[in-house]
Structures are given as structure tokens and as C-alpha cells.
Amino acid sequence: MKRKIYLYENRGIFSRVLEMLAELAVVAALGLFLAQYLFLSASTASKSMEPTIEPESTVFVDRILYNLTDTKRFDVIAFSRSGEPEDRDFLIRRVIGLPGEEIRISKGIVYVNGKELDVSPYTSEITSDGIAGDALLLGDDEYFVLGDMPANSEDSRSSTIGAVKRRMIAGKAWFAVRSATEFRIIH
């Protein structure tokens, strides 16, 4: 019977270790590329997005695919407070108003272009109208965002946030992890 020769049989252990280290380096580099350019992670400390996203969760944000599509009403997005690309201080909120729309909140009811918008599947009771008490006309690249728990949310109703410009949006939040056993897809 003929003896079979295997690919790794004639190589020394040093050669095999080097090959494994090279493979590990390639996998690590690919992982870093995906984490840096395709997705990003942001941490949430506030209760502003409860129950969709629990406080102290890590949220994974799709950067590439989201930037190839249009932002839709009720998308959950991550955006930088300052609008600067290097700013990693992200807020995560739900899109309520789209570019060119007029947004007004009166007595806890959201109006888009004068028509009532039912936000009840996404947000709890809105107790403060904020700057949206007066009608806000969004620009061609502006979005109006709310937290899912508006009573505890700094969002577009606040003069410190206001309308979110398109360049401020990092991507769409798609997955939240709180622990090894607590994770969910964000809708």
C-alpha cells in the first residue's frame, strides 16, 4: 500500500506557526476594517431610547449600506452632536421628520405638514413640545428626531440639538447588545 503525503508533513513547526500567525493577522485586519469603515459601535448611557434600546447597551451602526439608501421616517439613526466626522460622541434617535417637511408638536401630538403623525408604536407620551411648539420647516438636508422615551430625551425639540443635518448622520442603528444574553435587532 502506498503511503500518502500530506501538505504539512514535510514542514517544520516554525513554518506552521508562522503561517497560522499570518492567517490570524489577515483575519484581524479584516475585522478592524469592517469595524472601522462598514460598521461602528456606540454606547448608550441614557434612557432616551427605551424600550427599543436599553441603557448601557452597545449599538452597532450600519454605515455603508445606510449611506447608499435614503433615510426613512422611523429609522433609528446614530448622529454626531457636532456634525464633525471625527466626533465619536453619537446620539441615537428615531427619525420623525424628513427634509422639506414642517414639524410641529402641540400638546404631545406630532404634526407633519399639518397632519397628525401617529408615533405611538415607537414613542411614549410626549410631555414637552420644546422648540417644535412653533412650526419648524426642515431644510433640504435636515431631519427631525425624537427619542422613544421623549420625557428623558435630548432630541430635535431641544435647542442644543435641533434639526439633524444629513452630514451629521453616521448610519442606521441595527443591532443592540447589553450583555452576552441580551441582544436585539432594532426596528
Q: What percentage of the chain has pLDDT greater than the value 90? A: 36
User: Model pTM?
Assistant: 0.78
Gap between the Cα atoms of 19 and 31, Å rounded: 18
Q: What percentage of the chain has pLDDT greater than the value 70? A: 85
With bands split at pLDDT 50, 70 and 90, how would you rate the model's confidence at 1?
Answer: low
**Would you state the pLDDT for residue 44?**
74
**Would you state the pLDDT for residue 83?**
65
Instruction: Return the domain boundaries, the chain.
Output: 13-185
More confidently predicted of 31 and 144: 144
- Terminal-residue alpha carbon distance, the chain: 62
The CATH H-level (homologous superfamily) assignment of domain 13-185 is Umud Fragment, subunit A (2.10.109.10)
Going from the C-alpha of 4 to that of each of 1, 11, 15, the distances in angstroms are 9, 15, 21
